[in-house]
Chains A and B, each alone.
Chain A
Amino acid sequence: MVHQLTLGRKVFNVLNYAFLIGLSVMCILPLIHVLAISLSDKTAAASGNVTFLPVNFTWQSYTYVLSKPEFMTSFWISVERVALGTVVNMLLTIVMAYPLSKEVSQFRWRTAYAWFLVLTILFSGGLIPTYMVVNETHLMDTIWALIVPGAVPVFNVILLLNFFRGLPKELEEAAFVDGARPWTVLWRLFVPLSTPALATIGLFTIVGHWNSWFDGLIYMNNPSHYPLQSYLQTVIIKTDLVMQSAKDINSLAKISERTSKAAQIFMGALPILVIYPFLQRYFVKGIVLGSVKE
């Protein structure tokens, strides 16, 4: 638009760039610092010389963490939880969003069902009664306790139903005229047309399941059933609760508690960092998706 820049504009630009770049660096410096600690040796970490680059580089804390059976067990429980939970969440989201995306003239009960779901956003039984229901339905100490209570992600159902409503109605009408059944229309027509929306919701579901920790903490009586984030909660945050075995103490001769914690923090964040480029790609689409309304 305007090509010649005034002096004021130039000064503003310089300050603006400096501020924004500084701000973004501040956002990830803590993560880089912890990464540097995890790759430094014990004495360097303890002396506080480590800033943003490893001092006396070593993989020792990672070999220690990866050799810890508790860590690996909970890591795989998390992987299993993400896989199972995402499949269940996505299936239910898809089959529920489709009928709810119909007009009242096509599906009279639509509004009643929709309010039935929305009410759960407005009001909830809270922690203790939910805990009791999970207990009464015998999910305690099973992986299903982490999946079934949140099996219907109401927000995502609403997001997807709004996306479905934005699809051209003529396509569905044509399919019905050709004798297709609703089930076929959903899987052959709506699902393929909604891949970007489904990818967005799917990625957010994966992140949600990976990051969940509180349900694991309260629904698993046996710590060997903890998913990774719940396990990390007990070793990084509430360290006093963890008994240290003789093996732990032996390894601590080479690595410090600080470097091993740092390595575990980084390992817990790693899967998110790996899918981050995909998250980013669908992120803005997801925002637009959230605002698709008629």
Chain B
Amino acid sequence: MKRKSFSEMPYHLMLLPGVILVLIYSYGPMFGLVIAFQDFIPANGFKSDWIGFDNFTYIWSLPDTMNVLWNTIYISLMKIVAGLIFPILISLLLNEVNKSLVKRSVQTLIYLPHFLSWIILGGILIDILSPSEGIVNKGLQLLGIQPIFFLGNNDWFPYTVVITDLWKEFGFSTIVYLAALTSINPVLYEAAIVDGANRWRQTWHVTLPGMIPIIVLLTTLSLGNVLNAGFDQIFNLYSPQVYESGDIIDTLVYRLGLVDAQFGPATAVGLFKSVVSFVFISVSYLLAYRLANYRIF
């Protein structure tokens, strides 16, 4: 027994540096969440006065809180649904393409935006969606449509966010589905043809069932994002005039905490989000494990 634990020593040593870093920078902040229950004053550090749930009641008393929560869920749900359906459709269409040059070129172009940051894409969008000089509104004008302030109008902002997020991410998901499609056994198609199935029926009876596992997996995993409406994107596209429709939990935490220095209330909101997300992510992993036999490690 003693000899065995000695032979495990190198493994412990290999893990040691990383474990220490995770302990400090991932577990440290978890303990730092106590600020949510304190009247936090930076000079006093974590020895600030305990005030129980006062920060939470303060947040609930703010008029915008419910609205922010609603915006977060509304935008993230639209993103989840659009981000699942559209890529499935495109991968099915791409699967029907026989010319490999076309297939590869399309793939190459559609997932390029995925690798660019929201700073770059935000800069591009602010330019092309500008109501005065943006090319999109120039195009709409040719069609006789009045300029639309996509990023400054509360009726448009949430949908602009969802569509532009789709622009960035659909190509990436499409490739994931396409990878699943190409792993479908060709024998199944041959059998379907022998049974007299045309292309539509092949898609319906062979391709779609073959995609079900990956669809179930990605759907369940996306559940964990219900409170993630996309900080990087919204932070770079929003402005005070669209707070009503576009302010989300993460942007609120940023402004409360790092702009207004209200550390206690900001951490309270963050804690709320972490706890709810924990439940959603755990449930989504559990579902993925049960339904799609997915294991993290």
Contacts and interface: CB of A to CB of B under 8 A. Distances in A.
Interface of A: 1-2, 9, 12-13, 16-17, 19-21, 23-25, 27-28, 30-31, 33-34, 37, 46, 48, 51, 92, 95-96, 98-100, 102, 106-110, 113-114, 116-118, 120-134, 137, 148-152, 154, 157-158, 161-162, 181-183, 186, 207, 210-214, 218, 229, 232-233, 236-237, 258, 261-262, 264-265, 268-269, 272, 276, 279-280, 283-284, 287-288, 293
A126 B273 contact: yes
B10 A182 contact: yes
B297 A100 contact: yes
Given A2-B193, A27-B113, A37-B127, A127 B18 contact: no
Contacts of B14: 95-96, 98-99, 182-183, 186
**Which 6 A-B residue pairings sit nearest by Cβ, starting from the closest?**
A125-B29, A129-B32, A126-B270, A99-B11, A211-B117, A129-B29
A127 B258 contact: yes
Majority SS at the chain B contact face = helix
B117 A107 contact: no
5 contacts: A124-B29, A128-B253, A128-B258, A152-B21, A280-B108
B25 A236 contact: no
Contacts of A213: 117-119, 232
Contacts of A121: 281, 296
B216 interface: no
Contacts of A20: 90, 93-94, 97, 102, 106
Given A21-B106, A125-B28, 6 more contacts: A19-B93, A126-B273, A137-B24, A232-B123, A265-B120, A283-B111
B46 to A, nearest CB: 9
Contacts of B297: 100, 114, 118, 158, 161-162
Interface in B115-151: 115-120, 122-128, 133, 135, 138
B21 A268 contact: no
Contact of A34 (B17, B29, B127): B127
B267 A28 contact: no
Contacts of A130: 25, 29, 32
A17 B102 contact: yes
Contacts of B109: 24-25, 27-28
A102 B4 CA distance: 14
